[in-house]
Amino acid sequence: MPTSLSRRGVIATGIIGAGAVSMARAAPTPKNAAPDNICLIHPDTVDGPYYEDKPIIRRDITEGRKGIPLELRVRVVDAQCRPVKGARVDAWQADAQGIYSDFPNQGDDLDIATPGETFLRGTQMSDEAGWVTFNTIYPGWYRGRTAHIHFKIYIGGRTRLTSQIFFPDALNEWIYLNVPDYKRPLLRDTINVTDWIMAEATRNAVAQVKEEADRYVATMTFGVNPLATPAPGEKMPCPTDGSKCVPAPGVPPKGDDRIAALVPSAENGRRPRAQKPPLPR
């Protein structure tokens, strides 16, 4: 077990509130006076195995699940940074112990099933400024994945973006090692720098996280092409013979190397991107 990061140490790194936002503006150069109102179109990522196209219109999606309160604020804009009103935003996530609602074969021993449950799933429609807000909890982790929350954005009745939101990893580590609702017998096997889906989403998918007295507030802006026709959402690489879909375990650094990998640095910036695992046989 690596040495636990102190929460004070996390704050000292400047990680809280330092996540990148997925909206980027192009700065003009002397040779190319590009307009400054161009926003980054966020890349698609996989659906994952736990999505359900069953919208439940609500702001509070916790349904009493234990965990650190999290207010998640998501803004939808187009390539010109204009807010998109009326976009349907679906959110779904794992609870503090890494469990999703309404699916079997979960947990460290694959012995947890949640049929018919709807916790930590919800849908909101973006307002005139492009915003939706969800009251939820800080997500837990499960085998093969770092901390994340899934999103799917529909505009005009069609899926325009499938993506995920990620969190500063030193904050993840402190929470998982110290907060009772998140503690597990196993050490988290995948961190941000070793998660291949995060590599596809890029660092622009890391939320800005602000600490308030009674909750964290995470903010993310998604640039979306309202006319995009992306390919059908790719699923996780699961066996095709009907056997259980179990995410491949990660092989993260340990000890001092693990601590170094959790904190932004020049060395981390030069790490090779995590690669998508092969399809299980």
- Cβ atoms of 98 and 142 closer than 8 Å: yes
pLDDT single digits (tens) 22-73: 444 333 434 444 445 678 899 999 888 899 999 999 999 999 999 999 999 9
pLDDT single digits (tens) 245-261: 666 667 778 899 999 99
Average of per-residue pLDDT values in the chain: 83
* Pairing relationship of beta strands 121-125 and 88-92 according to DSSP bridges: antiparallel
Instruction: Indicate whether this model's pTM tops 0.75.
Output: yes
Those residues with Cβ within 8 angstroms of residue 280's Cβ, 6 or more apart along the chain or in another chain: 237, 238, 239, 246, 248
pLDDT single digits (tens) 209-251: 999 999 999 999 999 999 887 666 555 555 555 566 666 667 7
Give me the pLDDT at residue 243, please.
60
User: What single DSSP character describes residue 279?
Assistant: P
Domain architecture of the chain: domains with CATH: 7-25+36-268 (2.60.130.10)
- Cβ atoms of 204 and 265 closer than 8 Å: no
pLDDT single digits (tens) 83-133: 999 999 999 999 999 999 999 889 988 899 999 999 999 999 999 999 999
C-alpha–C-alpha distance, residues 93 and 81, integer Å: 27
For 120-167, where are the alpha helices, taking DSSP H only? none
C-alpha–C-alpha distance, residues 176 and 108, integer Å: 15
Give me the pLDDT at residue 24, please.
41
